[in-house]
Structure 1
Amino acid sequence: MPTSAIGLPGELALAFLAGALLNLTPCVLPVIPLKIRTIIHHAGAAPRHRLEAAIAFLSGTLLFFLAIGSASALMHWTWGALFQSPAVIAFLVALMAGFAAMIFFDIDMPVPTFAYRLGGGRHMEPLISGILAAILSTPCTGPFLGGVLAFAITQAPAVLVAVFLCVGLGLAFPYVVILLRPSLLDHLPKAGEWSRRLRQALAFLLLAGAVFFTQSLLSPEITLWLWWAWALGLVLWAGIAIVRRGGWAVRVVAVSTVILGLSTAFAGGLLMPTQGGPLHWQPFTEARLVAARRAHRPALVEFTAAWCINCKILEKTVYVDAAVVQAARRRHLVALRVDLTRPNQAFERLLVKDGGDGLPFAEIRDPEGKITRIFRGLFTAATLVRAIDRSTHDRAGISG
């Protein structure tokens, strides 16, 4: 069984750090409004109630990571495999849209009768918030997580589950600290109309996450209309907030939200029809890979999925960068895309065989078909350009 240079304690600590850094990935952004709502609702509560909320939030996160870690150990799931199920995505879309409405209109979460009977009615929201935060973290591999998962999948089931639990601990840690120490929020301005508008702005963020994940369920044409409906709703909301008398803080929140929201949507190509891109991507097949080798051409193989937010960021930024396009043309690069939106055992085996453990994952193959560089998570256009250029004249070695 492979061992780590830093040992098991070091890997567990790295897993904790990787989980904490997952909070900075685009995948977790949509659920931040729910986390903030949970924190604000309990910030003024008694210490005991804050502790209970923190335990509920942490429990929700750890329960999910315990389940996904066990599934990975027993069924050899890859990171993000849960999102290959249309039923799971449909449930999450409905859940996120529902929470967006709750946050926008400041509606309390309906609590099942059994939860009240058990005395845990007030803990349902932090528990569900922790679970949802954990679920939405899985389409992304943040900094360090790729290496941690690469180590974990080679270990005994108990070690693998322990690594996943440490990732969950890291993911929940910042919010548990704030719940236990609400004094950290004392420097914030007093709540008022501006905070209500900020809450509504965050609801639009959660709703954008719901629209994004519908891309795995609906046609591109319908999804495009949903994005335009979201953008129109955002503009109308901001216009009403600006026209009404609410002070300069309200106007700042409204204007900043609409500028940030629309600029991000346009930059990400969310309001434009889907195109193939300048690299002329082709669906991956072994025949195309063999043809590239016979033609003595290097290849870029990207493992992606419609539900992978970081994949879409790479496809809208790095892969369309002018320097990358020029390098691809200069080296006669063949661009092949492996789609893991739906379960595909052959593609999943290829991902693991080539050193992948989640998405995004990409590799550069030299003209002889040998892998000279692999990429886990996000990377820059300059890094990809160097890998493309080196693939045709030396063996750069494999790195993450």
Structure 2
Amino acid sequence: MKHLLSLLIPVFMLFAGVANAQDSTKPVQWKFTAEKVNDLEYNVHLKGTIEKGVQLYSTTMGDDQVNTRVVLDSAIKGTITGITEAGKLESKKEPLLDSDVKYFENEVELLVHVKLTAPADKLAGKITYNTLKGEEFATEEVSFSVPVAATPAAGAGDKAAASDVAEDDASNKSLWWIFIASFGGGFIALITPCVFSMIPITVSFFTKRSGTRAAGIKNAFVYSLSIIIIYTFLGFLITKIFGASALNSLASNGIANMIFFVIFLLFAFSFLGAFEISLPSSWANVSDSKAGMGSFVGIFFMALTLAIVSFSCTGPILGNLLVLAAKGGNAGPLVGMFGFSLALAIPFSLFALFPSLLNKIGKSGGWLNAVKVTLGFLELALALKFFSNVDMAYHWNLLDREIFLALWIAIFTLLGLYLIGKLKFSHDSDVPFLTVTRLCFAIVTFTFVVYMVPGMWGAPLKGISGFLPHEGSQDFNLNRSLIDIQASLEGGAGGGGAKSDATAIKPKKLVGILHSEIPGVENVFFDYDEAIAAAKAANKPLMLDFTGHTCVNCRKFEKSVLSSPKVMKILRNDFVVASLYTDEKTSLPDNEKFVSKFDGTKVTNVGQRNLDLEATHFNRNSQPYYIPVDLDGKQLVNKGYGYDPKEDVDAFVKYLEDAKAEFEKRTKK
């Protein structure tokens, strides 16, 4: 086929009268812009308006097809790492070529990702594209040379990258959430013994060393501002050293999760009194020696002393917040550290403004130790979540749902006993009587324990479903059994809606996954090709569920929306369902590995292949994402369905009904 095309293309070019320069008679009119991502990475946007009746071939068909190609000018020292397409991608069987082709009509946008060896202020190259109008083929070549814009240009990249990344990782909403959570973490740090005990000492120092109350207040504000600068600069360093994408990948990275598991375990034991975690005393001494300076520099070093001395208490809290801040793209760590340091700094200013409040603060010790131990129990529970992420991604099956719940039940039961004084550590003060505050916290803790107990038999536990291992890991699941019985009574428990006859196809490639997380559907597929084959055999639309083993929002949506009887019935009877895990670590055979056209990375495992499918065909890179497609893999609705915080079951039902109606319309043509 390749040799045949190499002979045919010159003939097509001869009859079509191919020219190298773009003019108004060309079947596609292009507009070019370029933007700078960083010093060595750039994007070139190619926006094409396609003549009516003309089909423009895609860049994704491979070397054996008449595909569109973009190359850089030889003077540009760099490479193209990937091309993202935006537009309505069509596909069909082309009799003239005796093969399937992918093409665009009316309009298309291409985002070309470029990596250079040195910065550039303009980019040049050419696009060679192939078109078909009726039975007339044409190959066109257009050169471009465009200056690099300082700000992102509108185009395919906005749709493929900016919309999804911004929506899930760096939107205003999520940045506000990171700020609020970090701000709350700062207030939690305030009541730890390391920080709390320094508030009256530090503020008293400022008020006594200042000649006037105004000077004392000014010094206290400078001290607070120094705290903010120190912690925010820490966030800036994390952003620059590791990068937003590197931090974002921590969610499913096995090594990173195991490191977090060990670190949180050490922090938990430290909070429980096994040992103290602190930085070398020489560090604190050096910074403390600078604190005697009478200038603002001396005040800054006093703030640095606070940050170093309090590390043993603030370190575990900061560790949690940095994992959260990683979800906020480049700005996340900066916003998180600013929120944390702002909450930490506020009391120093307030107590300087109102010195009489110092006399009302309780003394360090006693209840502050109780706070520290409580945080230790919480750190222990959170450590298990990081180990669970690795366990699920690599299918070790060491920490299934029952064991995880049993451990959490034991941890929070011990916490409840501690709060009512029935459990005591060596560094704790005596609890001669139970205060109302302790009683309230104990009631909340024991209520949480009672809430978790039914989960041992398969109860969904929607409130914490995002933290638990998937239900498929549970040996005895009464809830799933009841759902299967309901499905059998309704007569629809087959192959994601596939009929139980000779044409039904059962999933074969489970890639190490024991059970699907889609409730009420017996045979969920985990391989795209198998799912398409099953959909064709059943003549039903295919629902693609892009999900992840470590995806918290996926589990929440499954328990809140997909577990609705109305949704389960539609998915079970009217769709074939495929769950495509984007963090599945199972390696691909050597002959199935490839280089992604989306970002130029090498795809070596099942999860990377699924993520590349989601990004390349649906311009999405976050989960969960539900997109129904027809028997040719074309999406049935204009937009997919992502995580919905409102958990609107009726909205999702309407989404499914619209997809069904569109599928019926297409199959009748």
Aligned residues of 1:304 and 1:341 also touching (Cα < 8 A):
no
- Mark the CA change 1:170 to 1:351 in structure 2 (over 3 Å): closer, same or farther: farther
Indicate the residue corresponding to 1:284 in structure 2. 526
Aligned residues of 2:535 and 2:541 also touching (Cα < 8 A):
yes
Q: Which residue among 439, 444, 448 is the counterpart of 1:251? A: 439
Q: Is 2:502 the partner of 1:351?
A: no
List per-residue Cα deviations over 1:18-77 (Å, max 9, x = no partner): 3221467xxx79x9768722675446144455444433332333333334536x4xxxx6
| Structure 1 range deviating more: 189-198 or 363-372 | 189-198
Aligned residues of 2:583 and 2:608 also touching (Cα < 8 A):
no
Q: Which residue among 419, 422, 434 is the counterpart of 1:241? A: 419
Question: Using the alignment, how far apart are the partners of 1:38 and 1:300 within structure 2?
Answer: 49
List per-residue Cα deviations over 1:154-178 (Å, max 9, x = no partner): xxxxxxxxxx333333333432321
List per-residue Cα deviations over 1:209-232 (Å, max 9, x = no partner): 211121133344434424413311
Q: Is 2:449 the partner of 1:206?
A: no
Aligned residues of 1:284 and 1:337 also touching (Cα < 8 A):
yes
Q: Is 2:580 the partner of 1:337?
A: yes
State the TM-score, normalizing by the size of structure 1. 0.72
Cα deviation, residue 80, structure 1:
3.2
Secondary structure of the corresponding residue to residue 520 of structure 2: coil
Question: Using the alignment, how far apart are the partners of 1:216 and 1:293 within structure 2?
Answer: 32
Question: Using the alignment, how far apart are the partners of 1:56 and 1:132 within structure 2?
Answer: 18
Question: Using the alignment, how far apart are the partners of 2:227 and 2:256 within structure 1?
Answer: 26
Q: Which residue among 628, 631, 634 is the counterpart of 1:370? A: 634
State the TM-score, normalizing by the size of structure 2. 0.46
- Mark the CA change 1:130 to 1:242 in structure 2 (over 3 Å): closer, same or farther: closer
Question: Using the alignment, how far apart are the partners of 2:542 and 2:370 within structure 1?
Answer: 49
Question: Using the alignment, how far apart are the partners of 2:269 and 2:450 within structure 1?
Answer: 20
List per-residue Cα deviations over 1:111-151 (Å, max 9, x = no partner): 1467447635642435775464222444x6xxxx7xxxxxx
- Mark the CA change 1:334 to 1:57 in structure 2 (over 3 Å): closer, same or farther: same
Question: Using the alignment, how far apart are the partners of 2:523 and 2:336 within structure 1?
Answer: 35
- Mark the CA change 1:81 to 1:194 in structure 2 (over 3 Å): closer, same or farther: same
Indicate the residue corresponding to 1:133 in structure 2. 321
Aligned residues of 2:521 and 2:571 also touching (Cα < 8 A):
yes
Between 1 and 2, higher relative CO (CA 8 Å, sep ≥ 6) is seen in: 1
What percent identity do the matched residue pairs reach? 16
Letter aligned with residue 258 of structure 1: F
Cα deviation, residue 106, structure 1:
9.7
Secondary structure of the corresponding residue to residue 521 of structure 2: coil
Letter aligned with residue 154 of structure 2: T
Work out which of the two has the higher radius of gyration on C-alpha atoms and give 1 or 2.
2
List per-residue Cα deviations over 1:268-306 (Å, max 9, x = no partner): 464975364423463532212322442332333233333
Q: Is 2:279 the partner of 1:123?
A: no
Q: Which has the higher helix share?
A: 1
Indicate the residue corresponding to 1:36 in structure 2. 188
Aligned residues of 2:546 and 2:625 also touching (Cα < 8 A):
yes
Consecutive unaligned residues in structure 2, runs of 5 or more: 1-44, 46-152, 204-219, 288-303, 352-356, 423-432, 456-460, 475-514, 586-604, 664-669
Q: Which residue among 229, 239, 245 is the counterpart of 2:407? A: 229
Secondary structure of the corresponding residue to residue 332 of structure 2: helix
Aligned residues of 1:213 and 1:307 also touching (Cα < 8 A):
no
Indicate the residue corresponding to 2:654 in structure 1. 386
Letter aligned with residue 256 of structure 2: V
Letter aligned with residue 254 of structure 1: A
Tell me the matched-pair count: 355
Indicate the residue corresponding to 1:85 in structure 2. 253
Question: Using the alignment, how far apart are the partners of 2:322 and 2:373 within structure 1?
Answer: 23
Question: Using the alignment, how far apart are the partners of 1:394 and 1:105 within structure 2?
Answer: 62
Question: Using the alignment, how far apart are the partners of 2:416 and 2:661 within structure 1?
Answer: 54
Letter aligned with residue 547 of structure 2: T
- Mark the CA change 1:240 to 1:346 in structure 2 (over 3 Å): closer, same or farther: closer
Letter aligned with residue 189 of structure 2: R
Cα deviation, residue 349, structure 1:
1.5
